[in-house]
Amino acid sequence: MAHDAIDVFIAARDDDVIGMLTLATFPIPTGIRAWIEDVVVAAAARGSGAGMALVEAAVDRARELGARTVDLTSRPSREAANRLYQRAGFEQRDTNIYRLRL
C-alpha cells in the first residue's frame, strides 16, 4: 500500500470503517491507465452511498493523475456492484480476460 502507484480510499461513518477501494495507476506507451480493485462496503452500509463515494473519489484521483481510462472487473453475480459501476458511468467492455497463474 505504500507504493507510489497505489491509492487506498477509506469510507468511514463515525469512527467505523465501512468501505475501502484500491486504485492502481501505471504508465503504458499510450498514456497513464488506472485500475480499480478491492472495492468493499460493509453489508450494513450498502445502499448508503459509500460505494459511489469511493468510486467517485478514485475516478477524481485518476483524472488528477492524468489517467486516460479507469478499468475494473466485477463478477456477473455481484449484481449490486455492477449496477453501482454502471451508475458511476462505467461501460461494460466486450473483451476476454485471460490470466496465467504463476
Cell digits for 23? 486504485
pLDDT single digits (tens) 23-70:
999 999 999 999 999 999 999 999 999 999 999 999 999 999 999 999
Cα distance between residue 98 and residue 42, in whole Å: 29
Q: Is the pLDDT of residue 1 over 80?
A: no
Mean pLDDT of 76-91: 95
Please tell me the pTM assigned to this model: 0.92
Mean pLDDT of 73-97: 94
Cα distance between residue 91 and residue 70, in whole Å: 11
What pLDDT does 17 receive? 97
Domains of the chain and any CATH numbers:
6-87 (3.40.630.30)
Q: Is the pLDDT of residue 77 over 90?
A: yes
Q: Is the pLDDT of residue 3 over 90?
A: no
Mean pLDDT of 68-89: 95
What pLDDT does 85 receive? 97
What angle is formed at CA 41 by the lines to CA 77 and CA 73, rounded to 5 degrees? Answer: 45
Q: Which of 25, 48, 47 is nearest to 36 (CA)?
A: 25
